[in-house]
């Protein structure tokens, strides 16, 4: 007997990159069925309430959305559980702020503020990468998937890392493997499906986070913390 779609989601079963506190409640907002997978998206309510702190409760998020202040990729969204994903452009008309959802090196969605000029377009993956004008919906430029181009990893163990494509291994009947080198000279490999090209050569077409997508080792993170502590002390 068919039971229909699931309508609930518990916090312990929610994706780790949502960073929900286990002690604040039992249930998490289940994303609406839409353009993105549940495990790879961030519901609008979590972005506004937990990340930006613009609301304390889900009811307040509902009131913000119903005033039609929130735009995702240039379209007004009033559904508080609308799923947003990597490279989505979120605009808030009331404050004049624009955000782009990109991963940090720990694989979590970062609150990345962008300029109004950058908010006029978004990058989409079609194996190559295309630049789409959000106002007209037309393709304005493209980047070929090729060696020596800048890319970001959007899945797997290296999620959030940024580097230049150095080599592509073809494996007929299996996964193609892409080798990437980051700005520190560290090399790593991942599946072809995890690669999102974000720039020609070393020049990215989007603004990046402060760390430039370089994942530090535990020892390097410790040294960085100690250096910051000594300089402040």
Summary mean pLDDT of the chain: 90
pLDDT tens-place string over residues 123-176: 999 989 999 999 999 999 999 999 999 999 998 899 999 999 999 999 998 999
Higher per-residue pLDDT: 232 or 156: 156
Angle at 110 between CA 106 and CA 113, to 5 degrees: 150
What mean pLDDT do residues 214-229 have? 84
Q: What is the pLDDT of residue 211?
A: 77
**Close Cβ partners of 67 (under 8 Å, ≥ 6 residues apart):** 94
Domain ranges of the chain: 1-85, 122-217
pLDDT band at 233 (very low <50, low <70, confident <90, very high): low
pLDDT digits (tens, 9 = 90+) for 85-110: 999 999 998 899 999 999 988 888 98
This prediction's pTM: 0.86
pLDDT for 55 equals 93
- Do residues 118 and 124 make contact, with C-beta atoms less than 8 angstroms apart? no
Q: What is the pLDDT of residues 53-91, one digit of tens each?
A: 999 999 999 999 999 999 999 999 999 999 999 999 999
Contact predicate 191/153, CB 8 Å: no
Give the Cα separation of 131 and 76 in Å (integer): 21
Q: Which CATH architecture has domain 122-217?
A: Roll (2.30)
The CATH class for the domain spanning 1-85 reads: alpha beta
Q: So what's the pLDDT on residue 35?
A: 86
Give percent above pLDDT 90 in the chain.
61
């Amino acid at each position: 007997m068919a039971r229909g779609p699931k309508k609930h989601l518990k916090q312990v079963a929610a994706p780790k990159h949502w960073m929900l506190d286990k002690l604040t409640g039992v249930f998490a907002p289940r994303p609406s069925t839409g353009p993105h997978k549940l495990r790879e998206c961030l519901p609008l309510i979590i972005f506004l309430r937990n990340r930006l702190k613009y609301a304390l409760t889900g009811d307040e998020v509902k009131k913000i959305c119903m005033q039609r202040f929130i735009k995702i990729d240039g379209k007004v969204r009033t559904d508080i559980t609308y799923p947003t994903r990597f490279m989505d452009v979120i605009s808030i008309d009331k404050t004049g702020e624009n955000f782009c959802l990109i991963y940090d090196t720990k694989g979590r969605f970062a609150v990345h503020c962008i300029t109004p000029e950058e908010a006029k377009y978004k990058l989409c993956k079609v194996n190559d990468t295309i630049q789409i004008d959000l106002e007209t919906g037309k393709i304005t430029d493209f980047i070929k998937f090729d060696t020596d181009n800048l890319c970001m990893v959007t899945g797997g163990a290296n999620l959030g890392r940024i580097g230049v494509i150095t080599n592509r291994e073809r494996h007929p009947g299996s996964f193609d493997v892409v080798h990437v080198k980051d700005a520190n000279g560290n090399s790593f490999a991942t599946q072809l499906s995890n690669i999102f090209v974000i720039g020609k050569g070393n020049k990215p077409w989007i603004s990046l986070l402060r760390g430039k997508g370089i994942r530090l080792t535990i020892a390097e993170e410790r040294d960085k913390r100690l250096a910051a502590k000594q300089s402040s002390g």
